[in-house]
Amino acid sequence: MMQLHIVDETSPLKAVILGTAESCGPTPTPEEAYDPKSLEHILAGTYPNETDMTKEMEAFYNVFKKYGVKVFRPSVLKDCNQIFSRDIAFVIGDKLFHANILPDREREFEAIDHVLNKMDPSKVIRPPEEVHIEGGDVMPWKEYIFIGTYTGEDYPDFITARTNKAAVEYIKSQFPNKKVKSFELRKSNTNAKENALHLDCCFQPVGKDKAILHKNGFLVEEEYQWLVDYFGKENIFEITKDEMYNMFSNVFSISPEVIVSEKSFTRLNNWLREQGFTVEEIPYSEIAKQEGLLRCSTLPLIRA
């Protein structure tokens, strides 16, 4: 039986689900888009194709193989976008939570059944229906669980708001011994530069005590400031609006020392190397057009 174990974002990765771009279907119509960056590329005629995205995901797969990580893939559903495994479920401690994801994406979950079958069924949990939550908004970090949310009254108007207040309360009730810290995120259905789709689109811890952060992704200044104070200004790489749009905060840690990043993220990759990290650079700019990147494409199951 598989022993799940995730308590942070960077401990050495042992097992992961990596999404797939295979049979991701034709270019969606503008009405079918559920994030502003995909919409932008659908309208401009630059939406990415399956061949290019599959190559990018293979490059990611090869990095995992190089570091000896056990990689599971979803079974391929016909004409279904299954790139962003992160959102369909998430692991905290030794439990896997079945995300109550955007209904447009619900189908993606059945494709990981063969992985769930390896787990103790009592450790696979489905939150109640009113709890809206996606893995991109959930980050266990030592004694904390960080959660991105949007609690405005206009929550139902935002297809980009995926984690609600009930989710924050639910996670608190499940983990009474953890400190659950929530962050209100800026949402826009139409402007990707003003939209933090998930917490991992404007923030991510790296290494043991550092973080990548974008101020404008946060709606409440004190919540942003809390992160600055927690990590310390000198340990933070603050990214610009354009860098957030390019998904700089969505790199992925294989260990506290090794980070997978996009090859064009020059300013970030140089900073990471200056801090002593090994940076595994891969091409991922086609997938980036769908407002997700490396962290979004993974669902970590075990970190040592």
Ligand X SMILES: NC(=[NH2+])NCCC[C@H](N)C(=O)O
What residues make contact with ligand X under the rule CB under 6 A? 34-35, 38, 84, 86-87, 136, 197-198, 200-201, 290-292, 296
DSSP lists the bridge partners of residue 262 as 282
Least gap, CB of 232 to ligand X (angstroms)? 25
Nearer to ligand X, 36 or 127 (CB): 36
Residue nearest to ligand X (CB): 136
**Residue 215 phi, psi dihedral angles, 5° rounding:** -55, -45
Nearer to ligand X, 24 or 119 (CB): 24
Using CA atoms, how far residue 244 sits from 65, 76, 193, 298, in Å, is 28, 30, 7, 19
CA–CA separation, 161 and 264 (whole Å): 28
Least gap, CB of 155 to ligand X (angstroms)? 16
DSSP single-letter state for residue 26: S
Least gap, CB of 42 to ligand X (angstroms)? 11
CB 298 within 8 A of CB 251: no
Nearer to ligand X, 205 or 292 (CB): 292
Q: Which two tokens stand for residue 239?
A: 């990214």
Residue in 51, 35, 40, 22 with CA at minimum distance from that of residue 87: 35
Q: Is 174 exposed, middle or buried (0-12, 13-18, 19+ CB in 10 A)?
A: middle
Nearer to ligand X, 30 or 270 (CB): 30
Nearer to ligand X, 16 or 173 (CB): 16
Nearer to ligand X, 168 or 197 (CB): 197
Using CA atoms, how far residue 20 sits from 11, 48, 254, in Å, is 24, 14, 19
Nearer to ligand X, 73 or 86 (CB): 86
Least gap, CB of 102 to ligand X (angstroms)? 6
Least gap, CB of 176 to ligand X (angstroms)? 26
Q: Which two tokens stand for residue 12?
A: 């050495």
Nearer to ligand X, 147 or 296 (CB): 296
Least gap, CB of 86 to ligand X (angstroms)? 4
Residue in 97, 60, 111 with CA at minimum distance from that of residue 295: 60
CA–CA separation, 24 and 54 (whole Å): 10
CA–CA separation, 9 and 206 (whole Å): 7
CA–CA separation, 246 and 192 (whole Å): 10
Least gap, CB of 81 to ligand X (angstroms)? 8
Helix (H) or strand (E) holding 233: none
